[in-house]
């Protein structure tokens, strides 16, 4: 069975500082990894994905994520946080070809303090 862990319920960061939101995963095959963001009373918006290739993936709104196979991690990063980045962030995994079920972590609330 596949699973995703987001060890931090909340991350606080000052505006302009770098941010990291952590994610680790467990799958039986090659992982396909995604990050989504959710604003209050809204659906999820896609940020970026890792399929194969470069371990550093760049996505929307200046976000990037680093895939680390040995640590089974896929941490979300941004060099300089904005107040508008405050939201709920979800990491998700697909467990290889033929799997259509996205498994999500429980989410991390990011608060960027002005």
Partner 1 sequence: DAGVTQSPTHLIKTRGQQVTLRCSPKSGHDTVSWYQQALGQGPQFIFQYYEEEERQRGNFPDRFSGHQFPNYSSELNVNALLLGDSALYLCASSLGRWEGPTEAFFGQGTRLTVV
List interacting residues with partner 1 (CB under 8 A).
4, 32, 34, 36, 41-46, 49, 51, 90, 92, 94, 97-107
Closer to partner 1 by CB, 98 or 114: give it.
98
Decide: 74 and 3 in contact? Cβ < 8 Å. no
Decide: 8 and 22 in contact? Cβ < 8 Å. yes
Q: State how far the Cα of 110 lies from the Cα of 114, in Å rounded to an integer.
A: 13
Residue 56 CB, shortest distance to partner 1, in Å, is 18
Closer to partner 1 by CB, 1 or 70: give it.
1
Q: State how far the Cα of 49 lies from the Cα of 4, in Å rounded to an integer.
A: 15
Decide: 22 and 47 in contact? Cβ < 8 Å. no
Residue 26 CB, shortest distance to partner 1, in Å, is 15
Residue 16 CB, shortest distance to partner 1, in Å, is 29
Closer to partner 1 by CB, 19 or 33: give it.
33
């Amino acid at each position: 069975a596949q699973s995703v862990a987001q060890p931090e319920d909340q991350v606080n960061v000052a505006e302009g500082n770098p941010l990291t939101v952590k994610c680790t995963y467990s799958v039986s095959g090659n992982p396909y990894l995604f990050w989504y963001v959710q604003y209050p009373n809204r659906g999820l918006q896609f940020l970026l994905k890792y399929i194969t290739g470069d371990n550093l993936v760049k996505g929307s709104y200046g976000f990037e994520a680093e895939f680390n196979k040995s640590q089974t991690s896929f941490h979300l990063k941004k060099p300089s946080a904005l107040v508008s980045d405050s939201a709920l962030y979800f990491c998700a995994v697909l467990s290889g070809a033929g799997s259509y079920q996205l498994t999500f972590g429980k989410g991390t609330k990011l608060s960027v303090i002005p």
